Structure 1
Amino acid sequence: MSHPQRAAAFISDAERTTWHDETLWFVRQKRDKAVYGIPEFQQLRQLASDIKAHTLSRLDEYLEQFERNAQANGVTVHWAADAAEHNRIVLELIRKAGATSLVKSKSMLTEECHLNPYLVKNGIAVVDTDLGERIVQLREEAPSHLVLPAIHLKKEDVGETFHLHLGTPKGEKDPQQLTEAARQHLREKFLIGEVAITGVNFAVAETGAVVVCTNEGNADLGVNLARVHIACMGMEKLIPRTADLGVFTRLLARSATGQPVTTYTSHFARPAEGREMHIVIVDNGRTRQLGRPDFRNSLKCIRCGACMNTCPVYRRSGGHSYDFTVPGPIGAILSPNIDLHKHSSLPFASTLCGSCTDVCPVKIDIHAQLYKWRQLIGEQGELPATKKLGMKLLSSVLARPGIYRLGGKVAREGLRFLPHGLTHAQALNPWAKARELPAAPKQSFRDWYAAQVK
């Protein structure tokens, strides 16, 4: 299914669509307030972008430096070319530890690799410990947002889910009561978890340490209670020095939720005595994206979700309509790199308004890359047949001034006399589902200009 087809199911519930839109815009406003309080914010954005550009230009060197320093700290480093290899490595580590259960903090990389279903299929019990992630896991849904994985759900939905799975009273929708129920439920899972998996927000080449940012402290609790810690990271998460980290931590939370900083910013450099720490570094298409000059900047992404919170298409169509781990504008850039045919509709899920680029904390030219993907999709013959035919007809008209002028005149006259029910029939004019056509002008700009010159 294409993005418009999946989005149709979401927008059919007008009340939920409006609520989703307003909620995310509220988060965007919080981001703006946090940004305006930092006079040097634009300089921080440029510095972060430059650091990332430098790192990507020497990614092979920094990866090797990171591996050396991590190994010197007593950490075992693994390399995975794709999602399948990542999953096999993680399963082998779990089995080697003799474990049958694990606790996992939020990790978009493991979602990208579909680790959870793979482990469950192989007899491993997986518990997501981030509250939002746990909610969608219980519902057997994918996250719909990078930072706010359950943002598509209302408190009534959560109450129903917890009643079904955690035994809370039917009809309970008080957030405090629901959070307490989740806390008690998850605490038990932490205590019996034999292996802890975390994502990685930043990896420091200079020290071989990884940094995990959370607001709930679940990553810290899981790692400190389990005997084995497995950190899964995309290879683009590197930064050169610890001194660079402060630039990104000042940008990340402000861009994501409007906070000055995440509640917990935890550094994991070496395993505690008698324990193990493993880092799995994953490619899964990243080197291919690195080799595309037009799209290399997308690897600067720090997964803050700011582009989603501001995007008028994402806010009104929901994250699940993208059918990709990373939804929204940045996901529409990353997804065709993984599977161009499957995700060919996503670069068109944008108005190209540029708001995503304006809020990106590392200055990724998102809207320009979306436009470039549209060109490549056309060149690769992945446009729908109707769009191909429409573009051919339009190009023929635009290439012939006489036909263009005649078409404009016919359209102006037709809009004045045809009934509204015909011009706005959804079967004939899907554009008019949520829009009103403007009143047709009496004359074209060309005719007006010719009259003015005379």
Structure 2
Amino acid sequence: MSYLTHAGRAEAFVLDHERTSWHDETLWFVRQKRDKAVYAVPEFQELRELASQIKNHTLSRLDFYLEQFEAAAQANGVQVHWAADAAEHNDTVLRIIRQRGASRVVKSKSMLTEECHLNPHLIAHGIEVIDTDLGERIIQMRDEPPSHIVLPAIHLKKEDVGDTFHQHLGTEKGLTDPQQLAEAARQHLRAKFLAGEVALTGVNFAIAETGSVVVCTNEGNADLGVSLAPVHVASMGIEKLIPRLSDLGVFTRLLARSATGQPVTTYTAHYTKPVAGRELHIIIVDNGRTQQLGRPDFRASLKCIRCGACMNTCPVYRRSGGHSYDFTVPGPIGSILSPNIDLKKHSTLPFASTLCGSCTDVCPVKIDIHTQLYKWRQIVAEANHLPTAKKLGLKFMGRLLASPAAFKISGSLGRKALRLLPHGLTHHHAANAWAIARELPEPPKQSFREWYQQQASPTA
């Protein structure tokens, strides 16, 4: 089976120059908000280091903390379930819903349920699933996946939202006022909240000491759904654990500042015990995480707290759009996680990076993202998953660079060709994709080697 490359998927997005520029500028604005929020906290770098150490410690004793969490949660009256993969997770959710005789579900934003493709599974079995996060609801209406883990509809403009609401909610054609569009969504979702029989949420943090799960939102939709529905199902990846309640403050100070430049998320809800007469289910999901845990070079990627900061700063993500990654988690961190799931399918994602290191610089838990991307490239090459053109090109360049004589001759020919050939030929997109949006520098008349030899022997 052949898979479309990242560049191939990005092509349609990049062709719309206006949207690409707008997407780039919008995400850079969010990155700048992050910087301002960070600079206002003198101890921010110490918080990053502490968070990194807490996560490192937790991952090193993950089996212990998982068992501690399960025991504490069960002591609180929580029903704990384990799922080895996406299929088992989805079947567990469906079984809980059917045990209640329910058919209407309200769901807050959860990247894990997106990863497991829960919505299509439930809908195929006759369950109505309504995403209640505004961005998620918009893309659900459009039958699109999220393009960002924090800003799922960031690829859309208000005109796109207006057209979508006109089609699905019957709003006035051409309506683009954000306040009026938000009010239309609010009225639409209110009835869904009231009718919800089961509330599904993700988990931002799970506390082993108390058996509690913490859900962070800015819209309060998770809180409303859980408060109204008699059954709450929380889906958590095994990497969401932290040891103690006292550790939580470190991460809540980092999460919102890194994600959107806020001091803290508007709603930070703790769920420890089910309300009398109600049910609280927690599904602990692996789905490839223990495999990643077993990879020493990539274990640190499980420290991710899903803030999206690496996406907001990445020059490739900002200009190619989240859908070009064809993975639930796009951007730099997704390019590390995806090869662990399917190396062949996602073999081009580690190359969707300049390796500039900006993603590593902004990561609140100090994941060495660009280093891991580089290491994945080696694995992709060793597994023979490089495109044929790239394999041949690298093989040719390896031989060329290994031969001083060949390198000298090719440099001389290249300089002469750039001076003598017409601009339309040297910059043609078919022959030189690099020059589509860039101007090549003026070719020097002599190489550095020639210049150096001249300086070393001025009389020669």
Q: TM-score range by the shorter chain?
A: over 0.9
Quick check: 1:436 aligned with 2:423? no
Deviations 1:138-184 (A, max 9, x none): 00000000100000000000000000001110000000000000001
Give the corresponding residue for 2:427. Answer: 424
Shift of 1:255: 0.2
List aligned pairs for 1:171-186, cutoff 5 A.
Answer: 171-186=174-189
Deviations 1:208-265 (A, max 9, x none): 0000000000000000100110000000000000000000000000000000000000
Deviations 1:375-413 (A, max 9, x none): 000000000000000011001111111011000000001
Quick check: 1:132 aligned with 2:135? yes
Quick check: 1:411 aligned with 2:411? no
TM-score between both structures, scaled by the size of structure 1: 1.00
Question: What secondary structure sits across from 1:229 in the alignment?
Answer: strand
* Matched-pair identity in %: 76
What residue identity is the alignment partner of 1:165?
H
Give the corresponding residue for 2:209. Answer: 206
* Equivalent-residue separation in structure 2 for 1:200 and 1:372 (angstroms): 30
Deviations 1:291-349 (A, max 9, x none): 00000000000000000000000000000000000000000000000000000000000
Question: What secondary structure sits across from 2:282 in the alignment?
Answer: strand
What residue identity is the alignment partner of 1:431?
W
Give the corresponding residue for 1:262. Answer: 265
* Equivalent-residue separation in structure 2 for 1:350 and 1:203 (angstroms): 32
Quick check: 1:38 aligned with 2:30? no
List aligned pairs for 1:42-441, cutoff 5 A.
Answer: 42-441=45-444
* Equivalent-residue separation in structure 1 for 2:88 and 2:149 (angstroms): 23
Give the corresponding residue for 2:27. Answer: 24
Question: What secondary structure sits across from 1:102 in the alignment?
Answer: strand
* Equivalent-residue separation in structure 2 for 1:136 and 1:396 (angstroms): 49
Shift of 1:92: 0.5
Deviations 1:417-444 (A, max 9, x none): 1001110111111111111111111111
Give the corresponding residue for 2:456. Answer: 453
* Equivalent-residue separation in structure 2 for 1:194 and 1:170 (angstroms): 33
Aligned length: 454
What residue identity is the alignment partner of 1:137?
Q
Question: What secondary structure sits across from 1:358 in the alignment?
Answer: helix
Question: What secondary structure sits across from 1:362 in the alignment?
Answer: coil
* Equivalent-residue separation in structure 2 for 1:232 and 1:416 (angstroms): 61
What residue identity is the alignment partner of 1:426?
H
* Equivalent-residue separation in structure 1 for 2:317 and 2:243 (angstroms): 33
TM-score between both structures, scaled by the size of structure 2: 0.98
* Equivalent-residue separation in structure 2 for 1:432 and 1:173 (angstroms): 37
Segments of 4+ moved more than 4 angstroms: none
Deviations 1:104-160 (A, max 9, x none): 000000000000001101110000000000000000000000100000000000000
What residue identity is the alignment partner of 1:322?
Y
* Equivalent-residue separation in structure 1 for 2:291 and 2:456 (angstroms): 55
Question: What secondary structure sits across from 1:103 in the alignment?
Answer: strand
* Equivalent-residue separation in structure 1 for 2:95 and 2:296 (angstroms): 36
What residue identity is the alignment partner of 2:114?
E
What residue identity is the alignment partner of 2:109?
K
* Equivalent-residue separation in structure 1 for 2:435 and 2:342 (angstroms): 31
Shift of 1:371: 0.3
* Equivalent-residue separation in structure 2 for 1:448 and 1:330 (angstroms): 44
Shift of 1:186: 0.4
What residue identity is the alignment partner of 1:392?
K
* Equivalent-residue separation in structure 2 for 1:301 and 1:452 (angstroms): 52
* Equivalent-residue separation in structure 2 for 1:186 and 1:16 (angstroms): 29
* Equivalent-residue separation in structure 2 for 1:176 and 1:452 (angstroms): 68
Gaps of 5+ in 2: none
Gaps of 5+ in 1: none
* Equivalent-residue separation in structure 1 for 2:456 and 2:366 (angstroms): 45
Shift of 1:97: 0.9
Shift of 1:75: 0.3
